[in-house]
Amino acid sequence: MSIEQNRLHELRCADQDRELVAQLLNNAYADGRLTFDEHADRIAKAYDAKTFGDLNPLTTDLVAPQPQPVVEPYSAPTPAPSPSPMPVPAQFAAPPAVPGIDAFTGGNAVLSTFRPGQLHTVASNVTINAWLGEARIDLVGAAFESRDTTINVGGLMGEINIRVPEGVAVDVSRLNMVMGESKVDGTVHHPDGIRVRLVGTFIMGEVKVLGPDTSRLRKYQRFTR
């Protein structure tokens, strides 16, 4: 290992660096390149990582080797080839882009139906409103920007339906339903998986979250139809 590589291995990583690796792992899981158990194990190690040497093994079989930036004293960063991919310190790298689409941040169903279709990336903070309308959000196959995701909901006499994949825990304890109903059915969470929290106030309507372990499997499978 070269001196420059050794320096990066020993360099302490930041929260942003851990999130960059977590997003790569989420994308790999969504693409089917990681199993559920592999994804959960690597995500846990990513968030526990202290140095770039801890992060490096988590993505070596997921991305092609790329040149890594090296900072010399009193000089601008210069590229140096690396035999294996390694997360780059946050001050040198931009977040990995998702081809063709920005992170999903929500939408409104006002006297209408809101169906954004297949989502590529879900922002850490999402807002969904349904005023005399229906919002149908499918999170299956999407990558999450953060391990903890907040979905702010609001509406009157509307309906919000959300489908989640295996490994997502859903918390509705901060969701205030006024003359309405909230229901979470069939979710299969994992201690190191994604956590989704629904917050807000919904009046005279329904908020439903459907997971893969539901007894209504046909409804889960045909969610987007």
pLDDT at 63 (0 to 100): 67
Residues in Cβ contact with 223 at an 8 Å cutoff, skipping those fewer than 6 apart: 136, 138, 140, 161, 163, 210
What predicted TM-score, i.e. pTM, was given to this entire model? 0.57
Q: In the predicted model, what is the mean pLDDT of the chain?
A: 80
Distance CA 89, CA 87 (A): 7
In this prediction, residues 148-163 reach a mean pLDDT of: 94
* pLDDT tens for each residue of 75-125: 445 555 444 444 444 333 334 434 434 789 999 999 999 999 989 899 999
Among 23-27, 34-38, 109-113, 194-198, the minimum mean pLDDT is found in: 23-27
pLDDT at 160 (0 to 100): 97
> Do 195 and 169 meet the contact criterion of CB atoms below 8 Å apart?
yes
Residues in Cβ contact with 23 at an 8 Å cutoff, skipping those fewer than 6 apart: 95, 96, 121, 143, 144, 145
Helix axes 15-31, 36-48, angle to 10 degrees: 170
Q: Where exactly are the structural domains of the chain?
A: 3-80, 104-221
Structure token pair of residue 140: 């299956």
Is the pLDDT reported for residue 2 higher than 70?
no
Of 50, 58, 67, 3, which Cα lies nearest the Cα of 27?
58
Q: What are phi and psi of 134, to 5 degrees?
A: -130, 135
* pLDDT tens for each residue of 167-216: 999 999 999 999 999 999 999 988 888 999 999 999 999 999 999 998 88
Distance CA 124, CA 196 (A): 9
Structure token pair of residue 224: 């987007």
